[in-house]
Amino acid sequence: MTSKYIYIVLTYFLLIFLVFDKYYPGSIRRDVPTEGEEGGRSTEIVDGTAQLLDSAVVNGGFSTVVPVLDPLAEFKSEYNINGTDRFEWYREQMFLKLNISETKTAHNISTLYAYEFEHEIAITTTSWRRIGHKMFCRYLDENNKEIGKPYESFTYPEYIVYCQKREGVKKIGLSVKWDPRGVQHFYLHIHNASNYDLKVINDYVRTGEVEVHYLLERDQRTDNHWHMVNIADCLIWSRGDSKWTIFADLDERIIMTNYTGTILDYLREIRNESVAGIQFRQQWVLKTELMPETYQGDLQIDAWMPTHRFHNSTGIGPELHTTKCIIDSTKVFDMWVHDVTEFFPGKGYFMKRLSPEEGLVRHYRDQSLGEWGKKWLNKTLRFGPLRKTDYPEKYRGKLTENVKRRAKYVYGNKYD
Ligand SMILES: *[C@@H]1O[C@H](CO)[C@@H](O)[C@H](O)[C@H]1NC(C)=O
Ligand SMILES: *[C@@H]1O[C@H](CO)[C@@H](O)[C@H](O)[C@H]1NC(C)=O
Ligand SMILES: *[C@@H]1O[C@H](CO)[C@@H](O)[C@H](O)[C@H]1NC(C)=O
Ligand SMILES: *[C@@H]1O[C@H](CO)[C@@H](O)[C@H](O)[C@H]1NC(C)=O
Ligand SMILES: *[C@@H]1O[C@H](CO)[C@@H](O)[C@H](O)[C@H]1NC(C)=O
Ligand SMILES: *[C@@H]1O[C@H](CO)[C@@H](O)[C@H](O)[C@H]1NC(C)=O
Ligand SMILES: *[C@@H]1O[C@H](CO)[C@@H](O)[C@H](O)[C@H]1NC(C)=O
Ligand SMILES: *[C@@H]1O[C@H](CO)[C@@H](O)[C@H](O)[C@H]1NC(C)=O
């Protein structure tokens, strides 16, 4: 997520909420689409799809399968079609109608959405001229663990791939690759963003990793006063929907330092139900240049990703200075930028404060925006002299690869 193409999104004002362990409780979600509700979720699908561009045999990313909540009563169908196993029947139709005897190998397959039905999961794709191509459906459970062997299928009719259902499937894809990141979902507020920036946001919406709420000004406030709206809405939005929610900005990178697992591993190891959140202290990395306006290619990303480019860092802020939290929103009544204001009572809820040896926020803070360098840099120098630090080597390769893939997918198109 480090690229500017996500980053510039923030030009105006954006805060994001990254979510761990997004819940899909049973087959019922709070936001069951109701009549008249636009963009209801019954057909929502999701996915990490931007991993599309490698010339692997089949690629396409994973879509989260949100159960079709209340299949229309009249849409109960028989498993067999015309007396034949439905998947066999699809195959026969393909061979017959396309007059082919075997499927071809696909390249650059882009998935659109995935829909779960009574007898199958249907994935739609956008790739042109890929009809009658071989595809492998791959299934992931809620921990992103693969379920069983991939199921061989094909694109037929055009732009559609049918996959057999499997127990416990939360995500499905046509990809040979999957990046098991910890963060599964972003709640995003947009006050103002350019069309160029919206392209990448919309692509994350398409793949289900991002949900957006738009903010409309009717009170003549300055931008910073949107921050609390954003935090309040996110607290409620994520409550019961996600197990753990990060309240942080897009220019911040939370890392585990000497703890060897991922952030999600750390959270999963918390057994004490009274722990309502964990809190990280902050280190600023001075970002001294604005990002390029438009995408040019991989080399530009190598040069400009903040995690590659900026290293000049302050000391570490003290506890409660400008900390950032990951909380279980069901346990928090009132949230603030850096800490919980009030927990729900009676259960002994408390915040677990991490030492910098366990985890830390690296805040790639632009020095010119909001005149930060003039107003605040001096104050942070109290925490120690400036020093050179680096984003952890072990994550850099994967992060860069993901950023390049998504940026190329969204912005590297001759025809768009
Ligand atoms: C349905 O099954 C019949 C009998 O096997 C067959 O003749 C016919 O072609 C099938 N039609 C379709 C559309 O599959
Ligand atoms: C189907 O393909 C075969 C071999 O490619 C060809 O000989 C035949 O004419 C085709 N049939 C039709 C109806 O296009
Ligand atoms: C796949 O897409 C990439 C990037 O758009 C392109 O360079 C490559 O030629 C495509 N491969 C095929 C087989 O179409
Ligand atoms: C909204 O963003 C656009 C594009 O970044 C910018 O041109 C415009 O001035 C912004 N509008 C306001 C009200 O700030
Ligand atoms: C949870 O942690 C708190 C604070 O350390 C402690 O008082 C409490 O006994 C713990 N509860 C359990 C079940 O371990
Ligand atoms: C780090 O930032 C400070 C403050 O802007 C500057 O004086 C110093 O030269 C920078 N150090 C490096 C190595 O860029
Ligand atoms: C991590 O542990 C090593 C050795 O145990 C220590 O030298 C180092 O300072 C620690 N790093 C942090 C960030 O605490
Ligand atoms: C920062 O503090 C130093 C020493 O107190 C002072 O000389 C300098 O003018 C301050 N810089 C800014 C931008 O306030």
Query: pLDDT digits over 367-381, tens only?
Result: 999 899 999 999 999
Residue 291 pLDDT > 60, yes or no?
yes
Residue 52 pLDDT > 50, yes or no?
no
Question: For ligand 4, what atom is nearest to the CA of residue 195?
Answer: 4
Ligand at minimal distance from the CA of 404 is 3
Point out which residues pair with 104 in neighbouring strands: 133
Residue 321 CB-density burial (10 A; 0-12 exposed, 13-18 middle, 19+ buried) = middle
Point out which residues pair with 81 in neighbouring strands: 84
User: Is residue 122 very low, low, confident or very high in pLDDT (cuts 50, 70, 90)?
Assistant: confident
Distances (CA, A) of 153 to 84, 89, 149, 163: 16, 12, 12, 7
Cα(265)–Cα(259) distance, integer angstroms:
10
**Residue 328: strand, helix, or coil:** coil
What local confidence, expressed as pLDDT, does residue 42 receive?
20
Residue 19 pLDDT > 90, yes or no?
no
Query: pLDDT digits over 386-405, tens only?
Result: 999 999 998 899 999 999 99
User: Is residue 76 very low, low, confident or very high in pLDDT (cuts 50, 70, 90)?
Assistant: low
Distance 371 CA to ligand 4 centre (A): 19
What local confidence, expressed as pLDDT, does residue 59 receive?
31
Domain segments of the chain as ranges: 80-164, 243-394
Question: For ligand 7, what atom is nearest to the CA of residue 360?
Answer: 13
Cα(239)–Cα(63) distance, integer angstroms:
23
Question: For ligand 4, what atom is nearest to the CA of residue 192?
Answer: 1
Mutation test of ligand 5: which of 274, 275, 352 has the most ligand atoms closer than 8 Å to its C-beta? 274
Which range has the worst mean pLDDT, 17-31, 188-202, 228-242?
Answer: 17-31
What local confidence, expressed as pLDDT, does residue 141 receive?
87
Strands 183-190 and 16-22: antiparallel
| CB-facing half-sphere around the CA of 308: CA atoms within 13 A | 20
Residue 48 pLDDT > 90, yes or no?
no
Residue 207: phi and psi, rounded to 5, are -85, 5
Residue 25: phi and psi, rounded to 5, are -70, 115
- Residues with a CB atom less than 6 Å from ligand 3: 53, 55, 107-108
DSSP 74-139: GG---SEETTEEHHHHHHHHHHHHHT-SSPEEP-S--EEEEEE-SSEEEEEE--TT-TTEEEEEEE
Q: Is pLDDT larger for residue 141 or for residue 325?
A: 325
Ligand at minimal distance from the CA of 13 is 4
Query: pLDDT digits over 90-105, tens only?
Result: 999 999 999 999 898 8
What local confidence, expressed as pLDDT, does residue 142 receive?
85
Residue 203 pLDDT > 60, yes or no?
yes
- To 5 degrees, how large is the angle CA 337–CA 323–CA 5? 70
Is 11 touching ligand 4 by the criterion CB < 6 Å? yes
Of 124, 122, 125, 46, the residue nearest 87 (C-alpha): 122
What local confidence, expressed as pLDDT, does residue 63 receive?
61
Query: pLDDT digits over 215-272, tens only?
Result: 888 788 887 788 888 888 888 888 777 889 999 988 999 999 999 888 999 999 999 9
Neighbour tally for 361: CB within 10 Å: 24
Distances (CA, A) of 352 to 65, 339, 413: 33, 11, 46
List, in order, residues 6 or more apart from 298 with CB less than 8 Å away: 404, 408
Cα(147)–Cα(166) distance, integer angstroms:
8
**Once rounded to an integer, what is the mean pLDDT over residues 349-359?**
97
332 and 235 Cβ atoms separated by less than 8 Å: yes
Point out which residues pair with 85 in neighbouring strands: 80
Residue 20: phi and psi, rounded to 5, are -105, 145
- Residues with a CB atom less than 6 Å from ligand 7: 257-258, 357
Question: For ligand 7, what atom is nearest to the CA of residue 258?
Answer: 1
What are the structure tokens assigned to 234, written together?
């996110």
- Taking CA atoms only, the protein residue closest to ligand 6 atom 1 is 312
Is 271 touching ligand 5 by the criterion CB < 6 Å? no
Residue 85 pLDDT > 90, yes or no?
yes
